[in-house]
Structure 1
Amino acid sequence: MADSADIAAEIQERRMAAALSSRPTWWTGVDMARADCEECGDEIPAARREAAPWATTCIECQSIREKRGRHVR
């Protein structure tokens, strides 16, 4: 019989598998380290690409998106 910890671990594994299978396709794409901002076309700094390889905008454009409420895909 499984104890509470085993049941919790199984639930967590199922949730993680579901989250990974439903992640956006841009996350798994080849272009994870996009060099140019999709908003302004300027180069995304290397430090940002390393810290957030999924980033498709530079910090300035991302700040504008968040202020406008467009940061969620």
Structure 2
Amino acid sequence: MLRTKHYEKDTSDVQLRENLDLLEERGAEAHLRELTYKKVVARLYNSKGKLALTWEGPYQVIEVVQEGPCILANLDNK
């Protein structure tokens, strides 16, 4: 009985519309946060890191230093 006693239809409808507007706004904000997050993750995933290739294309071994490292050159001897 207490709920129906304090119920006002006009006020209730206005509050429901405001809550619906806020819900749509929060959904849009969440969507923007998701896009930002995906952009950061894609940038980190696609970045060249420590193990990225430094030599592109064919190369020639010029000299073997001891038993591991090699001196390399492009086919243009660079």
Question: Do Structure 1 and Structure 2 share a fold, with TM-score over 0.5?
Answer: no
Q: What TM-score do you get using the length of structure 2 for normalisation?
A: 0.30
The structure with more radius of gyration: 2
The structure carrying a bigger strand percent of its residues is: 2
